[in-house]
Amino acid sequence: MTTVIETVKLSKWYGSVLGLSDVSLKIEPGIVGLLGPNGAGKSTFLKLVTGLLKPSLGSVSVFGEKIIGNYRLFARIGFCPEQDSFYDEMTGWEFLTGLMRLHGYSAAESRRRATHALETVELTKDRDRMIRAYSRGMRQRLKFAQAIAHDPDLMIMDEPLSGLDPLTKRKLIRLIKNFKAEGKTVVVSSHILPEIEALTQTIILIHQGKVFAQGDIHVIRDLIESHPHLISIKCDDPRRLASHFLRAPDVLKIHFGSDGRSLLLETNNRDQFFGRLTAVLAEGRFAVEEITSPDDNLQAVFDYLIEK
């Protein structure tokens, strides 16, 4: 797969404050979630990738070319900034068509693209209202629209879902997933874990300016050996079920629920455990209601890695 974004030892200082430290990674087509708490360095990373900031050390290349001073690349890049700022006294329509004209499109083409973008984010009926009369969610959708209107190959979105209602969030998540289906690349940053989880399984975890982990959420989870996997099972006879695992060397702990119908196991080899569980359940002697992995999610991955 061709690398879309590549950073080599990328670092950024703001005076004596470290923004980003020694980040070397490759981003391939698809959706990548940039995850981290506030102040982690997500926005700094995105601004470095878009050339809005210059690296203190290291380099950034997009589509195989250096981004700094390479304005032609922006024909293929769409950026949705975090700041809720617009030009005063412009309508949504004027804002979008104006930005499209800056891309070099003709007046007719700019109007066509602006119309399509506004339809996508459902702002068509409000297009002639002043932007300062827009609600928070409408302004966020307008920002989204200006990032996608010129049909870029790479979309870089800094907290694109902030301020949106759940319905609109779902629509935009679906839209972002459609971009992936079209072969485009989307880098989305957020500090809200369920948003990233809804979008993608591929994450880059940033904290205190450093990349803690990169890759599939589940693969990362498996790599965290210091935190054994938790498996929760609800069944009719938890104690009898547990007896099948007492001798298993990969099962480290077993807790029984106070309701008398659940048990929580800790295992350091999830695959082996599930193989054994499947064999036991296939005998048909247990009525299992539910099997879940309470910590096989982004929150747990995030918490464990930050703790490290």
Partner 1 sequence: MNEPSRKLSVWTGFAASTGRVFSLFFARGRKARRTKVLFAFSFLPVVVSLMLRFHHVLSESRSFDGAYYFSNIIMVFYLNLIVLILALFYGTSVCSEEVEGRTLSYLLTRPLPRPTIVLGKSLAAVLLIAEMVGVSLLFSFLALNFGHLSPVACSRLLKYGGVLFLGVLSYSAFFVFLGSALKRSIFFGLLFSFGWENIVQYFPGSTQRLTIIHYLKSFLPEASSGRFSFLTFRLEATRPLPALLILTLVTAGFLALACLVFSKKEYLYED
Partner 2 sequence: MTIREKGYSHWDGCLSARPRPWWPITRMGIGLMLKKKPFRFFYYGGFIPALAFLIGIYISERIEDFRYLTRGSQKILEVNPAYFKAYFTSDFLLFMLVVLLAVGGAGLISEDLASNSLQLYFSRPLKKRDYLFGKAAVLAFFILTLTLIPGLFFVVFKLLFSGSFNFLSAFPWLPLSIIGYSGLATVFFSLYGLCFSSLSKNRRYVSLLIFALYLLSDLLASIFYDNSKNPVLTLLSLKINLQQVGAGIFKQKPPFPVPWLWSLFVLIVLASAFLFFLRRKVRGVEVVK
Name which of 107 and 223 has its Cβ closer to partner 1.
107
d(CA 37, CA 49): 19
130 binds, among partner 2, partner 1, none (CB under 5 to 8 A by kind): partner 2
50 binds, among partner 2, partner 1, none (CB under 5 to 8 A by kind): partner 1
Fill in the per-residue mask, 101 to 130: x = in contact with partner 1 (CB under 8 A), - = not in contact: xxxx--------------------------
Least distance between partner 2 and beta carbon 81 (Å) = 17
Name which of 102 and 133 has its Cβ closer to partner 2.
133
User: Would you give the distance in Å from CA 109 to the centre of its chain?
Assistant: 32
Closest CA to 223 of 305, 299, 306, 303: 305
User: Would you give the distance in Å from CA 162 to the centre of its chain?
Assistant: 13
Question: According to CB under 8 A, which one of 2, 72, 83, 88 is a site residue for partner 2?
Answer: 88
**Binding flag, residue 133, partner 2 (CB under 8 A):** yes
**Binding flag, residue 90, partner 2 (CB under 8 A):** no
Name which of 79 and 93 has its Cβ closer to partner 2.
93
**Binding flag, residue 132, partner 1 (CB under 8 A):** no
**Binding flag, residue 130, partner 2 (CB under 8 A):** yes
Q: Work out whether the CA dihedral 100, 101, 102, 103 comes out positive or negative.
A: positive
The residue length of the chain stands at 308
Least distance between partner 2 and beta carbon 130 (Å) = 7
Fill in the per-residue mask, 143 to 162: x = in contact with partner 1 (CB under 8 A), - = not in contact: ---x----------------
Strand arrangement of the beta sheet that strand 251-256 belongs to: 251-256, 262-267, 229-235, 288-292
Question: According to CB under 8 A, which one of 9, 54, 66, 132 is a site residue for partner 2?
Answer: 132
Contact predicate 97/111, CB 8 Å: yes
**Binding flag, residue 83, partner 1 (CB under 8 A):** yes
- 4 contact partners, CB below 8 Å, separation of at least 6: 27, 28, 29, 62, 63, 153, 154, 185
Name which of 133 and 223 has its Cβ closer to partner 2.
133
Contacts 24+ apart (CB under 8 A), 235-243: 235/261, 235/262, 235/263, 235/286, 235/287, 235/288, 235/289, 236/261, 236/286, 236/287, 237/286, 238/262, 238/263, 239/263, 240/286, 241/280, 241/286
Residues that bind partner 1 (CB under 8 A): 14, 50-54, 69, 71-75, 77-79, 81, 83, 85-90, 94, 98-99, 101-104, 146
Residues that bind partner 2 (CB under 8 A): 88, 130, 132-133
